[in-house]
Each structure stands twice: as C-alpha cells, then as structure tokens.
C-alpha cells in the first residue's frame, strides 16, 4: 500500500469520530437549554415530567427519521436523553412494585431511563401511598396483562386512592418469562413465582413440569431470590423460579428455559401515577371509575352514553365495591381527554346515570411496546 493511501476502514472510523464529537457538542447544547427549561418550570410550578410533551418529542423525532436506523433505536436514545434531562432539571424519584428485578422495575427503567432514582416500594398499595404523600414523584403499577387480565391489587387501590392522585401515563412492556435455576432441568422439584406468572405459563408448565410443586411468592423477583437462597442452603433442593432474565442476573440464577410464556405476544400494561394532571396530547385515553344504581339496565345506560357519542371503550373491568355486598365498581378506558369540552360534556351525561363517577386521569396513549 502506498504511504499516501489511507485504509478505507480508518477513513470510516475518522468520519465516525468527527460525527461523535459533533453529537456530543450538540447534546450538551441541548442540555444547556434543558437547564433553562427546568429553571422556568420550577419558577412556574410546572411538573418536570410532562407525558404530552414526551409524546410530542418522540413523534417529532420519528418524523425526522429517514433511516437506516430504526425508530425503536431512536426512541431508546431519546428516552435516555430525556432521563438525563430530568436529572439536570430536577432529580426525579420513581416508585415501583419491588423488589429489584420485577417487571414493574423493568418497565420503569425502560420508560424513565437510567438517570432517575428508583424506589422499591414492596407492594402496589405502597406505590399509591407514597405517590399520594409526595414521597416519590411518580409511581409505576401494573394494570392488566394480555393473558391474565386485570390486576386486582391495582384496581382495588383506586377504590381507596382515587381522590388523591391521577393516572398520568401508560406503558406497554413485552413480558418474557424464564425458568431460572442452578441445577439441571430434570432435577427441578419446586418452582417459585407470582400467581400471575404461573397463570401465564400454565400450558408450558403442564407439559414440562406437571409434578413440580408450585409455590406462590409476592413477586417474580422475590421468587428468584427465594429459590437462590434455598439452593445456596441445599444444592439438591431442586428449587427454581419463574421470572425475568434480569432477575436471574441480579440474584444469581441461570436460565434453564427462556420465553416459557404460553403466548409469545404476552404484554403487560402499566400505569404511571402522579399528583398532577396531563395536558392534551392529541391522542389520549381517559380512565373512569363508577358505580351504578341498583336497577335493570343501569350499566347499559352508562355505556350507551359513550356509544351514542361515538366514543370507543378500550378496556372495561369491575371489582366489588367493598362497601355493600354484590355492589360493583366498574373501570373503563375511553378514547379522549377530560379537558376537551365535548368530552367533558359526555362525562357529565354519564355521571347522571351513576351513583358515583370519578375520572382517574387522562393521558397520552401508548403507541409502542417496550
């Protein structure tokens, strides 16, 4: 090779280095503007995290993208940029259903990024309590799974805390379960996990481990921790757990089998809780909780209000009201935002058919599964 000739690979690397310098400079220019935004928000008492603004930024970035890099990659980059921005504007504390390694923890880190503080609050009601007291800025709780349905602990918590906080956003997380253990597959005797995880892996367990004892734990991460502790005490115990691969890495169990969920499209939807309300994003949902009069057709009357006004319902669930036997509280998600004048009128019309009706929150619709 002639000394004046440059290796093409080296030329490419030099070009990348030059662009990296430009990117770092531009990111820091952006960060300086973020600091000014944070100062303005604090002076005006405006929330640091604004889901409608987050939704607009991600949509704008995807609109700019002409490839070859995918939108999912760009979104991941910008979520981390926004996470770093939160740290510059005002450090945020996010409460989640712990311990470390649960799917709630995974959803929180994927959505808020790595530059915020995460608080293990041990129970779903604990997340509601700490958000309502202002001890954490936002909370992450599961609300429904595409296989197992509604999460009763979250629905029940709204019965108590509906007047103390708001639903501020939603997150969809692809849930993949692993069978984790430090023994050979044929030596597994007992399996720890949360009831919902057993339910979502029922078919696989029935064929692969029909005789293994299933032991309930308060969370998948706690199940992994417990199985690891049992194995450490007795390597012949045959203890295993169903949980995330992340939990296995954290607590020291190896995956024997991965993606053991019965449905490969298994998704859990999470809610973000806050004491604040969101602004209109242009693509919103509103969650409503209500009880009806004890008369024939009362539920139909409420639902017909939304039908007559061409408002789509994306979710409906119910729970015992905890006040009167056989009296139920219904939960629905509708398309629209409560600050839209027409939608506010529709809610008022529906309220006329209810004993009680509470708007739990309006928030931008989740457009992608993390």
pLDDT of residue 225: 95
Which of the pair, 48 or 189, is modelled with greater confidence?
189
- Cβ neighbours around 73 below 10 Å, total: 10
* pTM for this predicted structure: 0.85
Cα–Cα distance for residue pair 179/330, rounded to 1 Å: 36
Looking at the predicted structure, is the pLDDT value of residue 261 above 90?
Answer: yes
CA dihedral angle for residue 336, residue 341, residue 342, residue 348, rounded to 10 degrees: 90
Could you read off the pLDDT of 282-300 as tens digits, one per residue? 999 999 999 998 888 899 9
| Cα–Cα distances in angstroms (integers) from residue 170 to residues 162, 314, 361, 368, in the given order | 17, 13, 11, 11
pLDDT of residue 33: 87
Q: What angle do CA 263, 267, 273 make, to 5 degrees?
A: 160
The CATH code of domain 8-89 reads 1.20.59.10
**Mean pLDDT, to the nearest integer, of 308-328?**
87
Cα–Cα distance for residue pair 370/365, rounded to 1 Å: 14
pLDDT of residue 5: 64
pLDDT of residue 1: 47
Would you give the distance in Å from CA 104 to the centre of its chain?
Answer: 6
Hey, which CATH number is domain 178-259, 3.40.190.10, 1.10.10.10, 3.40.50.300, 3.60.15.10? 3.40.190.10
Q: Work out the pLDDT band at 148, boundaries 50, 70, 90.
A: confident
Per-range mean pLDDT, top range of 143-147, 234-238, 364-368:
234-238
- Matching fold, domains 93-174+268-364 and 178-259: no
CATH class for the domain made up of 93-174+268-364:
alpha beta
Cα–Cα distance for residue pair 333/317, rounded to 1 Å: 9
Looking at the predicted structure, is the pLDDT value of residue 74 above 90?
Answer: no
What DSSP string runs through 113-130? -SSSEEEE-SSHHHHHHH
Q: Work out the pLDDT band at 167, boundaries 50, 70, 90.
A: very high
| Cα–Cα distances in angstroms (integers) from residue 211 to residues 4, 183, 189, 233, 297, in the given order | 72, 17, 8, 23, 47
pLDDT of residue 206: 97
Of all residues in the chain, the percent with pLDDT exceeding 70 is 98
Q: What is the mean pLDDT of the chain?
A: 91
Of all residues in the chain, the percent with pLDDT exceeding 90 is 63
The answer to whether the peptide bond before residue 68 is cis (omega within 30 degrees of 0) is: yes
Could you read off the pLDDT of 195-244 as tens digits, one per residue? 989 999 999 999 999 999 999 998 899 999 999 999 999 999 999 999 99
Per-range mean pLDDT, top range of 49-58, 238-247, 314-323:
238-247
Least confident range of 10-24, 164-178, 275-289? 10-24
pLDDT of residue 329: 94
| Residues 6+ positions from 330 with CB-CB distance below 8 Å | 289, 290, 291, 292, 299, 302, 316, 317, 318
Domain borders along the chain are 8-89, 93-174+268-364, 178-259
pLDDT of residue 2: 54
- DSSP-assigned beta bridge partners for residue 117: 93
Cα–Cα distance for residue pair 233/169, rounded to 1 Å: 43
Looking at the predicted structure, is the pLDDT value of residue 100 above 50?
Answer: yes
């Amino acid at each position: 090779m002639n000394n004046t000739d440059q290796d093409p690979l080296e030329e490419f690397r030099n070009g990348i280095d030059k662009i990296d310098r430009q990117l770092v400079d531009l990111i820091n220019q952006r960060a300086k503007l973020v600091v000014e935004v944070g100062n303005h928000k604090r002076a005006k008492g405006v929330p640091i995290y604004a889901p409608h603004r987050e939704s607009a930024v991600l949509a704008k970035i995807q609109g700019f993208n002409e490839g070859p890099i995918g939108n999912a990659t760009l979104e991941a980059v910008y979520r981390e940029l926004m996470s770093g921005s939160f740290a510059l504007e005002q450090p945020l504390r996010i409460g989640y259903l712990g311990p470390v390694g649960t799917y709630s923890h995974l959803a929180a880190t994927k959505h808020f990024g790595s530059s915020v503080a995460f608080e293990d609050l041990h129970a779903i009601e604990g997340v509601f309590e700490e958000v309502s007291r202002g001890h954490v800025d936002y909370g992450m709780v599961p609300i429904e799974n595409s296989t197992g349905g509604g999460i009763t602990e979250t629905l029940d918590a709204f019965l108590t805390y509906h007047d103390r906080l708001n639903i501020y956003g939603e997150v969809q997380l692809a849930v993949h379960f692993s069978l984790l253990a430090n023994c050979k597959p044929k030596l597994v005797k007992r399996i720890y996990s949360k009831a919902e995880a057993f339910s979502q892996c029922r078919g696989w367990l029935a064929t692969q481990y029909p005789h293994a004892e299933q032991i309930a734990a308060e969370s998948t991460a706690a199940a992994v921790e417990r199985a690891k502790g049992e194995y450490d005490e007795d390597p012949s115990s045959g203890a295993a757990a169903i949980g995330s691969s992340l939990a296995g890495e954290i607590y020291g169990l190896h995956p024997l089998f991965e993606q053991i969920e019965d449905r490969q499209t298994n998704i859990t939807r999470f809610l973000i809780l806050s004491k604040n309300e969101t602004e209109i994003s242009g693509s919103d949902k509103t969650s409503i909780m209500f009880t009806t009069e004890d008369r024939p057709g009362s539920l139909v009357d409420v639902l017909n209000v939304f039908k007559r006004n061409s408002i789509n319902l994306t979710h409906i669930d119910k729970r015992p009201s905890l006040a009167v036997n056989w009296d139920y509280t219904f939960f629905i998600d509708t398309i629209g935002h409560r600050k839209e004048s027409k939608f506010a009128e529709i809610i008022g019309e529906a309220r006329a058919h209810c004993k009680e009706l509470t708007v739990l929150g309006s928030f931008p619709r989740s457009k992608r599964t993390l």
